[in-house]
Amino acid sequence: MAAFRGARQVAFAVISTTVVLVSVFTPIAFLGGDIGRLFSEFALTMAAAVTFSSLVALSLSPMLASQILPSNHSDRVSFSRGVDWLFGRIRDFYIKTLRGAMRHVWLMGLLFGGILGGAYWLFERIPDEYAPKEDRGAFYLIVNGPEGASYDYMKDYMDEIEQRMMSYVESGEITRLLVRAPRTFSNFAIFNGGIVINVLNDWESRRSAWVIMDELRKQLSDLPGVKVFPVMRQGFGRRIQKPIQFVIGGGTYQELAEWRDILLEKINEDNPGLQGINWDYKETKPQLKVVIDYDRAAQLGVTVEGIGRTLETMFGSRRVTTYIEEGEEYDVILEGERSDQQTPADLSHLYVRSDTNGQLIQLSNLVSLQEVADSIKLNRYNRVRAITIEANLKDGLALGAALGYLEGLVREHLPAHVIIDYKGQSRDYKTAGGSVLFVLLLGVVVVYLVLAAQFESWVHPFIIMLTVPLAMAGALLGLYLTDQTLNIYSQIGLIMLVGLAAKNGILIVEFANQLRDAGREFDEALMEAAHVRFRPIVMTGITTAAGSLPLLLSSGAGSETRTVIGTVILAGVIAATLFTLYIVPVAYHLLARYTGSPKQLTQQLERELLEQENRGR
């Protein structure tokens, strides 16, 4: 009978909590991009697990309790009686302090406001990034030589780099070393790049990859002819890219180069921690620019088209006609001798005919040559001329802070029409934050509406939802104290806290409504609900916090991401459990006194309808 009555008493709370948790996890399954692929299965798994656990809690658990637990309190072991005694003493202290909080409501209001202010302060100061840096057991060394460098030039430096890295192979920290030059597998004859792929030993047999990469960065910085940048490929993205991919556009390539130089100058003056800065527009490819003397050409009767045709034909090639032979059509192409296209002096051997008198005029009398340098490629991004500045991040500098620093430089030192955009991980960071924030807000709204439908009230769900900012504040404090960041993993953990924190408020508010339905006075029902629900709230909080400890204590592959989620859950649940025990009863005392429980409202409505019928008769 006790098992039946206990299950009946908590049935509504179990069902309500289950619906809330499913409502929180379901929107995560509809996230797009990399976040959706990462967390959709997790969200659906959690929703299914919570649903099945609620069925077990309402059926199998009461049956097992009726068969296993002793029916007489005196039959319990001493350990169980000791736990009961400890919980009793803590509960008595809690009820005593809660009565004091009820008498000083303004003090609890200040406490709640201080927690909200502290949460905002923490949110502004915690660095944010797309994903935490992971030691993935392998990293790359990107080697860049000067433009136009030959294979033999790069080979000497790659051999030197390999020789210097053999000490790590001999010590066992690196198990495999692959050196390649050139770096790319394309058909272009570009030999000024190289790559070194380093496969590390197991985590227990070496130092952190970030320590090794920092050492190599310092050891290889003295190579005079090349620049070496260690890069750790992260879990998102397919290319080997640096985390900073900052794009500027909106002007000609000459203007873009000037803007780039301004940014690089300002970065060199006050660098917050950008390392291995590089860009994709380098004016290192030599070119000859042909400048036509239009006035002289007009005086001699030579058209610009004639000059262009001559240069096209003699230094390139031009299709002039086609002919057909045995049913096949062939192109007729004119081009000059390759031996006459070697030096700028070959222009003096070319002549162009005047349209006025038909004389041949030496082409060198009509044009002049200018030696210029330009980039080997002219990049566009989103159909706009653009230059991409890329960089690594020094330890302690978050991606969000670095991008904010570059955006500030653009706003302060560049024209207003400059276009800013992002690539790679920087773009993922900018786009993912908005989607996760939307899901978080959507989860809060959905949970509130679900609770409103279950409690048939707008006030009771509001009281329950006050637990959410308390949990958020605790999670942010945990991230701040452990020097971690706001990223997609910690944000997913915050979404989970919406459901985990609401559970505490549901236990108190729902039981207080039950007692009011049974005829208890408002204050008596509230204190009884806080007294009875104290132990379930504390026990569920302890078990949830204990379940996050393996995430905090984990090591090896992927431990960085697990640690973030574990920190959010542990700190958030502890804060929610501690403050919920006071904030929710005080809020219920202030806001719910004249609302009535759902059953009371139904009974009052029935009485009013009955009175109206009697008056009508």
Residue 170, number of CB atoms within 10 A of its CB: 9
> Are residues 403 and 344 both part of a single domain?
no
The single-letter DSSP state of residue 348 is: G
Query: How buried is 440 (Cβ within 10 angstroms: 0-12 exposed, 13-18 middle, 19+ buried)?
Result: buried
> Are residues 453 and 571 both part of a single domain?
yes
Of the listed ranges 20-29, 40-49, 595-604, the one predicted with least confidence: 595-604
> Are residues 265 and 355 both part of a single domain?
no
> Are residues 490 and 579 both part of a single domain?
yes
> Are residues 360 and 289 both part of a single domain?
yes
What is the domain extent for residue 368?
A: 285-374
116 occurs within a structural domain: yes
Of 293, 443, 422, the C-alpha closest to 363 is 293
Length of the chain: 617
Domain count, the chain: 4
Interval 303-319: pLDDT, tens: 888 888 888 888 778 88
> Are residues 572 and 518 both part of a single domain?
yes
549 occurs within a structural domain: yes
SS3 of 323, please? strand
Residue 32 has a pLDDT of 67
In angstroms, the CA 78 to CA 131 distance is: 49
In angstroms, the CA 275 to CA 396 distance is: 12
Q: How far is CA 499 from CA 30, 167, 432, 443, 576, in A?
A: 18, 52, 22, 9, 11
Q: Which residue has the higher pLDDT, 116 or 17?
A: 116
> Are residues 540 and 442 both part of a single domain?
yes
Query: What CATH number corresponds to the domain at position 118?
Result: 1.20.1640.10
**Percent of the chain's residues with pLDDT above 90:** 17
612 occurs within a structural domain: no
> Are residues 126 and 142 both part of a single domain?
no
Checking 177-185 for CB contacts under 8 A at 24+ apart, the result is 181/143, 181/151, 181/154, 181/155, 182/151, 182/154, 183/142, 183/143
Across all residues in the chain, what is the average pLDDT? 84
558 occurs within a structural domain: yes
Query: What CATH number corresponds to the domain at position 227?
Result: 3.30.70.1430
Instruction: Place 608 in a pLDDT band, splitting at 50, 70 and 90.
Output: low
> Are residues 271 and 301 both part of a single domain?
no
74 occurs within a structural domain: no
Interval 158-217: pLDDT, tens: 999 999 999 998 888 999 999 988 877 655 557 788 899 999 998 888 888 888 988 998
Q: What is the mean pLDDT of residues 33-52?
A: 80
Q: DSSP letter string over 458-522?
A: SHHHHHHHTHHHHHHHHHHHHHHHTT--B-HHHHHHHHHHHHHHHHHHHHHHHHHHHHHHTT--H
Of the listed ranges 33-37, 206-210, 366-370, 562-566, the one predicted with least confidence: 33-37
Residue 570, number of CB atoms within 10 A of its CB: 22
Look at residue 345 and tell me whether its pLDDT is greater than 80: no
Instruction: Place 596 in a pLDDT band, splitting at 50, 70 and 90.
Output: low
Interval 524-579: pLDDT, tens: 888 998 888 898 899 888 998 998 898 888 777 778 888 998 999 999 999 999 98
> Are residues 394 and 301 both part of a single domain?
no
pTM: 0.76
Of 145, 392, 414, 381, the C-alpha closest to 263 is 414
Interval 380-418: pLDDT, tens: 898 899 999 998 888 778 888 889 999 999 999 999 899
Q: Which residues, other chains included, contact 613 with Cβ-Cβ below 8 Å and sequence gap of 6+? A: none
Spatial contact of 73 and 33, defined as CB atoms under 8 Å apart: no
Residue 72 has a pLDDT of 62
Residue type, 110: L
- Containing H/E element for 329? strand 328-334
> Are residues 218 and 257 both part of a single domain?
no
The single-letter DSSP state of residue 246 is: E
In angstroms, the CA 608 to CA 117 distance is: 45
> Are residues 370 and 500 both part of a single domain?
no
Residue with structure tokens 């879990």? 235
Could you tell me how far CA 184 lies from the centroid of its own chain? 29
538 occurs within a structural domain: yes
SS3 of 335, please? coil
Look at residue 10 and tell me whether its pLDDT is greater than 80: no
Instruction: Place 114 in a pLDDT band, splitting at 50, 70 and 90.
Output: very high
Alpha helices in 59-195 (DSSP H): 60-68, 78-103, 105-125, 151-171
379 occurs within a structural domain: no
65 occurs within a structural domain: no
Residue 137, number of CB atoms within 10 A of its CB: 17
Spatial contact of 264 and 407, defined as CB atoms under 8 Å apart: no
Query: What CATH number corresponds to the domain at position 365?
Result: 3.30.2090.10
Q: Which residues, other chains included, contact 451 with Cβ-Cβ below 8 Å and sequence gap of 6+? A: 16, 20, 460, 461, 464, 465, 502, 506
The single-letter DSSP state of residue 128 is: B
Interval 201-220: pLDDT, tens: 988 888 888 889 889 988 89
The single-letter DSSP state of residue 391 is: E
Could you tell me how far CA 567 lies from the centroid of its own chain? 17
Q: Which residues, other chains included, contact 131 with Cβ-Cβ below 8 Å and sequence gap of 6+? A: 234, 235, 236, 425, 487, 488, 489, 561
In angstroms, the CA 501 to CA 489 distance is: 18
Q: How far is CA 176 from CA 38, 154, 168, 199, in A?
A: 30, 21, 10, 5
Residue type, 32: G
